[in-house]
Amino acid sequence: MAENPDLGKLILRLTLGVLVLFHGVSKVFGGVSGIENMLVSKDLPAILAYGVYVGEVIAPLMLIIGYYSRVGAALIVVNMLFALGLAHSDQFFMLGDSGGWRLELQGFFLLTAVAVILLGPGKYKWRH
């Protein structure tokens, strides 16, 4: 099989975008009250909870269509840093029930977004 780095970048973008978007859709239908509560408990303004819609709906859509993918990936990085700091800071050094890292999914989202920032979107993208 011939090398096709642009196809690899597309698969990377789509995988990250679709998987993060599922989390965003859940919040569109379920709301962000849990995130608001976490923010308030850390003495942060509850309104920041609405940023999750940027990080988990708008940013993934940017990746999926390839529109300013690096910006979309950077927004996901910020979203994941907030998630790690607010919801998962006590789990950072824990193993999961099956022996893996408790934060595998969050780590995957964070580092895959960093990879998209570094690699760029590839040629299969929205033209802008």
The predicted-structure confidence for 53-95, as pLDDT tens digits, reads as follows: 999 999 999 999 999 999 999 999 999 999 998 887 878 777 7
The predicted-structure confidence for 18-41, as pLDDT tens digits, reads as follows: 999 999 999 999 999 999 999 999
Write out the two tokens for 72.
């979309």
